[in-house]
């Protein structure tokens, strides 16, 4: 399961002009129109279309998303606001529970900003949880101490699947309010990433009712009643697209789909039950944010290295990879070329590297940067890299080791550019 962090802020003096953020030449036209303009451009529960935003001071992350040259490799970390930070633990204690934290705009803003107060990260990510969407569907989400998330009403039969529908986004207003608050609090420091779980990953939790070690229940439905699984995934895909569009309206400057459990599927099943529905989400997303700027889309499938070539066809800008993937090979498969299918790459150091001494962390950072290869230079688009972990950061990670990693990424990647 993914819990994320970001931070918002937006009090502005001058609204940036399209295609003119710190000299960045962002795309102003899109090759693929939305399937339903009326649907995707409708007002959201947090409609901030007229809200002014502070000019972006650090656009390195967004430039890398658009495969444009940068003066260093941008870095942010999955789950960068979390239990490894003592200040997060203190805030969560005040909130009383994880959901007390995630559903309170002030707390969500505070914890999103915490890692940026410690580290010069190049992006913030909304603090929330991937299970907010099925919770809004009425499945009854709770977090049991020592057991993780659990649904009171899992989806395991035809009647339960038939009852599913895209939830009223007003039930998720707390998420969109948090996005707007975080964007304002960031005050243009770095971009804000919104996110959701993928349709398949949400389905895993919805059918299993909790985390799983063998995915027996959800795979039983997939193989025994593929019709029910397709129905469930269609509702999830449309829900995720609507949810991410509302985050975009609220101020998210990039959005990410976490396909955390895509890698548990067999070849063939992944393409049919995960990839196809991630593609459906992407097709339904708005292309421009509340400030008029285009919004890059990131897809991360843990364990998805086997299917990178197929994922190159996705209508997104960035593919995240886990630590099992060779970055040089991934670059050759999906990062090269001048066609509109080429992707920026995000990843992929093993999170457990952060338990090594700082000198070893620096050495492992060097290996990742070397694996990706020569940084892109020049005015044309090319292969770009966003440094990240191969999955979420562990709660036991020493905070000082994160500082060593961020400093090493920035220093070494600048040196590689001469």
By annotation, the residues acting in catalysis are 79, 83, 92, 129, 205
Indicate the helix (H) or strand (E) that contains 400.
helix 399-416
CB 153 within 8 A of CB 138: yes
The total number of residues shown for the chain amounts to: 418
Main-chain dihedrals φ then ψ at residue 196, nearest 5 degrees: -155, 160
* Beta pairing class for 192-197 and 148-151: unpaired
Residue by residue, DSSP assigns 173-198 as HHHHHHHHHHHHHHTTSS-EEEEEE-
Q: Around Cβ 280, how many Cβ atoms within 10 Å?
A: 18
Contact 239, 172 (CB under 8 A): no
| 213 burial via Cβ count (<10 Å: 0-12, 13-18, 19+) | exposed
Task: Indicate the burial class of 41 (C-beta count within 10 angstroms; 0-12, 13-18, 19 or more).
Answer: middle
Do residues 298 and 65 make contact, with C-beta atoms less than 8 angstroms apart?
A: yes
User: Distance (Å, rounded) from C-alpha 412 to C-alpha 154?
Assistant: 48
What CA–CA distance (Å, rounded) separates 277 from 289? 23
Strand bridging mode 385-389 / 148-151: unpaired
DSSP 3: B
Bridge partners for 380 per DSSP: none
Q: What whole-number distance in Å separates Cα of residue 309 and Cα of residue 291? A: 33
Contact 2, 78 (CB under 8 A): yes
Report the b/e string of 255-272 with b at 16+ CB within 10 A: bbbbbbbbbbbeeebbeb
Asked if residues 1 and 150 have their Cβ atoms less than 8 Å apart, the reply is no
Cα(253)–Cα(186) distance, integer angstroms: 12
Using an 8 Å Cβ cutoff, are 8 and 188 in contact?
no
d(CA 77, CA 383): 20
**Residues pairing with 254 in the sheet:** 193
């Amino acid at each position: 399961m993914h819990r994320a962090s970001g931070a918002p802020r937006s009090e502005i003096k001058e609204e940036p002009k399209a295609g003119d953020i710190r000299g960045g030449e962002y795309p102003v036209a899109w090759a693929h129109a939305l399937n339903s303009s009326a649907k995707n451009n409708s007002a959201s529960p947090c409609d901030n279309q007229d809200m002014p935003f502070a000019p972006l001071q650090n656009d390195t992350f967004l430039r890398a998303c658009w495969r444009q040259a940068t003066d260093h490799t941008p870095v942010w970390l999955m789950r960068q606001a979390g239990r490894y930070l003592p200040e997060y633990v203190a805030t969560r204690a005040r909130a009383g529970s994880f959901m007390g934290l995630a559903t309170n705009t002030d707390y969500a803003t505070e914890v999103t900003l915490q890692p940026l107060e410690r580290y010069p990260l190049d992006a913030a990510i909304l603090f929330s949880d991937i299970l907010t969407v099925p919770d809004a569907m009425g499945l009854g989400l709770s977090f049991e101490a020592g057991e993780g998330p659990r649904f009171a009403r899992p989806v395991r039969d035809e009647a339960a699947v038939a009852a599913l529908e895209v939830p009223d986004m007003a039930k998720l207003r707390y998420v969109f309010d948090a996005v707007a608050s975080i964007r304002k609090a960031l005050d243009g420091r770095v971009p804000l990433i919104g996110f959701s779980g993928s349709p398949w990953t949400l389905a895993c939790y919805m059918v299993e009712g909790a985390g799983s070690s063998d995915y027996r229940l959800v795979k039983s439905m997939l193989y025994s009643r593929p019709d029910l699984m397709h129905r469930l995934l269609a509702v999830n895909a449309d829900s995720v697209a609507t949810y991410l569009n509302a985050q975009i309206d609220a101020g998210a400057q990039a959005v990410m789909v976490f396909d955390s459990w895509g890698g548990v599927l067999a070849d063939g099943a992944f393409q049919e039950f995960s990839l196809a529905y991630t593609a459906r989400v992407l097709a339904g997303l708005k292309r421009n944010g509340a400030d008029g700027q285009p919004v890059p889309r990131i897809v991360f499938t843990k364990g998805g290295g086997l299917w990178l070539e197929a994922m190159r066809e996705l209508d997104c800008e960035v593919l995240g990879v886990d630590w099992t993937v060779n970055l040089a090979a991934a670059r050759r498969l999906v990062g090269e070329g001048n066609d509109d299918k080429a992707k920026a790459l995000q990843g992929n150091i093993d999170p457990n590297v952060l338990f090594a001494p700082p000198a070893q962390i620096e050495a492992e950072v060097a290996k990742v940067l070397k694996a990706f290869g020569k940084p892109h230079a020049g005015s044309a688009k090319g292969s770009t890299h966003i440094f990240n972990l191969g999955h979420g950061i562990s709660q036991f990670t020493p905070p000082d080791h994160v500082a060593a990693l961020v400093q090493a990424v920035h220093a070494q990647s600048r040196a590689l550019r001469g």
